[in-house]
Amino acid sequence: MSESNPNTVTISVVIAAYNAAKYIRETLDSVLAQTYLPLEVIVVDDGSTDETAAIVRSYAGRVRLLQQENRGEPAARNVGIRNAQGDYIAFVDSDDLWMPEKLKLQTARLLEKKVVWVTCYADSFDDSSGRILSGYKKKLYEGDILEKEFANPFIRSPTPVVKKTVFEEVGYFDEDKDALIGEDKNMWMRIAAHYPLGAVYQVLALKREHPTSALSSTPTEEKLKGQLCLIERNVSRQPQRLARYKNRVLARIYLNNGTDLLKQGEYERARLLIDKAQQLNPFSFQVEVYWLILHSGEIGRKGYRLYRELKTRMV
């Protein structure tokens, strides 16, 4: 039995799932173990070809299964939102996990701060080893977070709880093909332009990192194109507030994709992206370090490989 709240906040959990058979049982168990139980748990199966639907059906009576042809994660989330009966929507990906106190603590924060959406900290963990990964926790902010979320995104996909009526005002997840990369960040930005955010300063969710995740398995060029499109859309909606951050944010995107290529040994492709980052933000120490690595020939490459090897041994 869940702990009751005197103000009775009803929450629908929406999970978009595509070929998630390997992980979804663990995800569902973490949702159903909440000390403040949601009104309902909705899994939208986005045309899976594995055993995802069969696993969800095994939770009959506790989990609601909706099925559709494969249309992408944004479309699946939108189906879940439109079919939800709760006053609030909580999102979790089909491979991520929640801590038992997540909904209880976030519900209390919603009421305390009198806000319509709330987030929390989320750690990342390595799927193969179960090890918590360092370097992922970013500072959380409350209130008007539009510029902070744009400059250095901190809201992670398994953390938000959002009042359902918010989507009626700001719109649903963008199902356009060009917006599939970062569609969740696009949504948080749209909400942030209208509503202040609340936050629980505790790790209440775990994000699973594995090679088959949607972002990890996306080619760099496609990922970069989607991320650049996201930046342009955000700036075009809020030019007065966001335009001044644009070059710095673009530099970060080129840097992140460039360092991913560097880890893969794709030195020339990495150099092209780091060069663009350096042109956009020539005063970034991090950008300059990678620029020097990629412009120092074999010496820079050997130094970088040694650094990576030492870092791996220290973990």
pLDDT one-digit tens code per residue, 152-179 = 999 999 999 999 999 999 999 999 877 6
Token pair listed for 279:
């042109």
The per-residue pLDDT for range 9-63, each reduced to its tens digit, is 999 999 999 999 999 999 999 999 999 999 999 999 999 999 999 999 999 999 9
Could you tell me if 42 and 66 are in contact, meaning their C-beta atoms sit under 8 angstroms apart?
A: yes
The per-residue pLDDT for range 135-148, each reduced to its tens digit, is 556 789 999 999 99
Residues 30, 238: Cα–Cα separation, whole Å: 37
Residues 243, 234: Cα–Cα separation, whole Å: 9
Averaged pLDDT, 181-197: 94
Could you tell me if 274 and 286 are in contact, meaning their C-beta atoms sit under 8 angstroms apart?
A: no
Residues 314, 131: Cα–Cα separation, whole Å: 13
Residues 170, 173: Cα–Cα separation, whole Å: 9
pLDDT score of 174: 92
Residues 56, 42: Cα–Cα separation, whole Å: 10
In this predicted structure, the answer to whether residue 213 has a pLDDT above a threshold of 80 is no
Averaged pLDDT, 299-307: 81
In this predicted structure, the answer to whether residue 302 has a pLDDT above a threshold of 50 is yes
CA angle in degrees (0–180, nearest 5) for 190-243-189: 15
Phi and psi torsions of 175, nearest 5°: -95, 0
What are the structural domains of the chain? 11-209 (3.90.550.10), 220-314 (no CATH)
The per-residue pLDDT for range 249-280, each reduced to its tens digit, is 999 999 999 999 998 999 999 999 999 999 99
